[in-house]
A and B are shown apart, each in its own frame.
Chain A
């Protein structure tokens, strides 16, 4: 089933209930990527020669933006959505109104993507302040951050749809999210991997996100990115359809 404007109402509910947690969100959204940039970008960067003709911190920055968008959305549609679905009975309450399961799932995913945009904007500002974003095309990382958020929000919702408990998310974050964080070309170019490793890396959604972000940050976007966008959109659509089905099965007998 497809979402309707009910999704926007669910989004609005998420926003209203998040407001009072906003300060802590901002601290984490800025603080964590900043630590990576400083600790790894500058610290490790002292020992790393330029990559592709740019300093290591500049190489690192777009990937950190992509990954912070991934983390924001992933936490939202796993732990937070799961709480709303189970402990708080929020989904059941909303389902008693004209909103459908598709509206609820889409509303939560778009809200997760909104948080991704917030994260992307904060990190973008910080990295720009440090002079790590050479091109004005980097502004495009804001809408790209939204797409990354919708994609990982949908993937997280699939996990939530299958999750028997909070513990289940540990598998997803360790085996899925952390793996992508390390092997999606954020910290090193994928060329260093063996051929089979590269093949696997290019199947990971985050790899495409990082690739796109780096292209915009470097000021070299182009039609060659279409394939990356297509892959991200495909993953998003499939994940959304599966997530809606799984959550519906849990809410409707």
Chain B
């Protein structure tokens, strides 16, 4: 086996997963390099979690090849692979009958970590998760943010070479979310390879070096967040909110569309995507009298442009 520092952390080629006749993951090919924070972005049901489950040995690919740390992900390698993974699942799975501290030490025991070493690691990780003062408390007394941070800390108990986070901030309020992001960023600085799924565009933009956008089981775009925005949207977006009367005014829409931008109409909103730089006041003059907002392009624009604005359910 080659050195961990040079081996591709995850290498998936032509990965498919069927549930019955429904394809949840369709021909996914991706590679994650060591030290990278890699994101899988997409709406609910896009196949992110199924992809993650195949990587973490809890779903078997229907076809394709999958290697983690250069090892094929097959039953005989599960034990070895899982010893090097840190996994935070989407559903809260802390042990309600155990204290905060025991949640860490008992989890350490599953990895065969000695009692003394587990106690030391638990101390360090409680500080990391900022729950040291709550060490004797039961899980149900913790806030949602604390539970998430403790889940993250628990996944670090075996000093994993690859950390896999499935929707790490789902259901958290903005403050708690930022605190989790901050913890993930500190892990990134330490050089831990991270794979995360999210349907929050801002989360992906904040944390990921590189990401894929998935929709209906497929990868529909791949790249750095800034490159994806530049390629698929541009620099700026102007959202024009049309009244009912303006919405049926064909001449008005024609006039608006003919600017230094690409236009897309969704309901009563006209999106104007500005490829380069900033729009000159002269160009903006044609928007006089209309309600509009001008802002920087985001990953959310990339996502909506690629997948369409139709509601996904």
Contacts and interface: CB of A to CB of B under 8 A. Distances in A.
B112 A253 contact: no
Contacts of A92: 58, 89, 91, 93
Given A96-B89, A100-B78, A252 B95 contact: no
A95 interface: yes
Nearest to B58: A252
Given A88-B93, A88-B95, A252-B60, A96 B87 contact: yes
Contacts of B97: 16-18, 20-21
B109 interface: yes
Contact of A12 (B19, B78, B91, B106): B106
B82 interface: yes
B92 interface: yes
Nearest to A10: B110
A16 B102 contact: yes
B91 A89 contact: yes
Interface string B55-84: 010111000000000000001001110110
Contacts of A135: none
B109 A96 contact: no
A21 B82 CA distance: 32
A6 B59 contact: no
Interface string B1-29: 00000000000000001010000000000
Contact of A16 (B59, B75, B98, B110): B98
A90 interface: yes
A97 interface: yes
Contacts of A251: 58
Given A13-B109, A16-B102, A97 B82 contact: yes
A53 interface: no
B111 A253 contact: no
B98 A97 contact: no
A252 B95 CA distance: 20
Interface residues of A, number: 27
B191 interface: no
B73 to A, nearest CB: 12
B124 to A, nearest CB: 19
A253 B83 contact: no
B98 A17 contact: yes
Interface in A20-79: 20-21
A17 B95 contact: yes
A102 B161 CA distance: 25
A245 interface: no
B50 interface: yes
B59 A253 contact: yes
B149 to A, nearest CB: 16
A225 interface: no
A14 to B, nearest CB: 9
B273 interface: no
B107 interface: yes
Contacts of A252: 58-60
Contacts of B308: none
A98 B83 contact: yes
A9 interface: yes
Nearest to B75: A1
A15 to B, nearest CB: 10
A253 B58 contact: yes
19 contacts: A5-B112, A6-B110, A10-B110, A13-B95, A13-B106, A13-B109, A16-B97, A16-B98, A17-B98, A93-B94, A97-B158, A98-B79, A98-B82, A98-B83, A100-B78, A100-B79, A252-B58, A253-B19, A253-B58
Interface of B: 17, 19, 50, 53, 56, 58-60, 75, 78-80, 82-83, 85, 87, 89, 91-98, 102, 106-107, 109-112, 155, 158
Interface of A: 1, 5-6, 9-10, 12-13, 16-18, 20-21, 88-90, 92-100, 251-253
Closest 3 pairs between A and B when the two form their complex, measured CB to CB: A17-B97, A89-B93, A97-B110
Given A1-B75, A98-B112, 9 more contacts: A9-B109, A13-B95, A16-B106, A88-B95, A89-B93, A90-B93, A96-B155, A252-B59, A253-B19
